[in-house]
């Protein structure tokens, strides 16, 4: 009986861990956020071969994220997630399980998601030309993030304004939303 309970508990735990990695494209942006939630705008520019999957480590044990189906050029994902800090952690070059991945957690590429805001901290630039020539960068392209949000999700951006939450203050988004008469 005890061993059966153990098995059931293990399976339940495994299920929880597996399901904890949320697939970004499964989330549909909603105009209303739950309490303690904010929108996270992820942006990935892919140069060379697009990554198969990118993982982010969330603020809580079961709040990791993954994004896939990335294409060459710019890729955006808008996700409703619990507020907190999200780190880019791994970039997979192959869909297969146990395939090689690039560990980028220590690069310190993170986004602080604030409650009731749309948070953006930079574009992850993935350059995957070959195993010898792979590089990752994190660049603040908030003008492009703003344009994307304006084009795709005006309702959300009105209700939950886009803010820059990188590791340093950048007043550009404030300037962008000012009308010329305000200045």
Partner 1 sequence: MKNIFAVFLLCLCVVAHASEQKKLSVSHKHAQEFFQNPQYSSPKIDPSGRRVSFFEHDKNGDKKLSLLDLDSNNMQVVYIDKLDRVKSYDWIDQDTMVLTVRYQEHSQSLYKFDFIYSDGLLKEVKQKLILDNAYLLDPLSNLQDKIAIAYYSVGERYPNIYKIDLSAKNTSSQLGGKKKLNRLAPDADSWLFNSNGQLKVMQAIKEGKNIVWYKEPKKGRWVEIWNKTKDTRFKPVLFLEDKNQLLVLNNHDKNFIELTKFNLADKTFGETVFKVEGRDIDNVVRNQQRDNILYASYTENGIVRQKYFTDLGSFIKKHLNKNLNARDFWVVDKSIDNSTVLALKTNSRQAGVYYLFESDRVQLSILTETKPWMSKFQLGKSERITSTSSDGLEIESFLTLPANSKESKPPLIVVPHGGPVNVRSSREFNMQTQYLASLGYAVLHPNYRGSAGYGKEFKEAAKQQWGKLIEDDIDSATQAVIDSNLVDANRICIYGASYGGYSALISAIRRPDIYKCAASYVGVTDINLMLENDFRSLGEGNLQWIKTYYGDHRKQQADLLQRSPVYLAKQLKQPVFLAHSLRDDVVDIEHYYRMKSELAKAGNPATTLFLEKEEHGFKYLESYEQLYSSLDAFFRKSLELPQPTVLRK
**Residues contributing to the site for partner 1 (CB under 8 A):** 47, 122, 129-130, 132-133, 137-144, 166-172, 175-176, 179-180, 183
Shortest CB 22 distance to partner 1, Å: 28
d(CA 175, CA 182): 10
Q: Which is nearer to partner 1, 92 or 138 (CB)?
A: 138
Shortest CB 126 distance to partner 1, Å: 13
Shortest CB 61 distance to partner 1, Å: 29
Residue 148 three-state SS? helix
Nearest to 53 by CA among 14, 20, 25: 25
CB neighbours (10 Å) of residue 30? 11
Q: Which is nearer to partner 1, 18 or 168 (CB)?
A: 168
Q: Which is nearer to partner 1, 99 or 143 (CB)?
A: 143
Q: Which is nearer to partner 1, 25 or 167 (CB)?
A: 167
Shortest CB 2 distance to partner 1, Å: 48
Query: Encoding tokens for residue 20?
Result: 């904890």
Residue 16 three-state SS? helix
Q: Which is nearer to partner 1, 116 or 140 (CB)?
A: 140
Nearest to 71 by CA among 90, 99, 47: 47
d(CA 118, CA 96): 33
Shortest CB 103 distance to partner 1, Å: 13
């Amino acid at each position: 009986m005890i061993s059966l309970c153990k098995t059931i508990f293990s399976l339940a735990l495994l299920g929880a861990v597996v399901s904890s990695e949320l697939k970004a494209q499964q989330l549909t942006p909603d105009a209303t956020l739950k309490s303690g939630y904010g929108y996270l705008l992820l942006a990935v520019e892919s140069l060379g071969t697009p990554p198969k999957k990118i993982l982010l480590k969330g603020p809580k044990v079961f709040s990791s994220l993954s994004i896939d189906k990335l294409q060459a050029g710019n890729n955006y994902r808008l996700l409703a997630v619990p507020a907190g800090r999200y780190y880019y952690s791994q970039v997979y070059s192959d869909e297969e399980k146990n395939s090689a991945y690039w560990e980028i957690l220590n690069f310190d590429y993170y986004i602080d998601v604030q409650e009731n805001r749309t948070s953006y901290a930079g574009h992850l630039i993935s350059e995957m030309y070959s195993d010898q020539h792979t590089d990752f960068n994190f660049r603040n392209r908030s003008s492009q993030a703003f344009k994307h949000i304006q084009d795709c999700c005006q309702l959300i951006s009105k209700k939950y304004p886009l803010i820059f939450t990188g590791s340093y203050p950048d007043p550009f988004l404030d300037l962008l939303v000012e009308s010329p008469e305000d200045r």
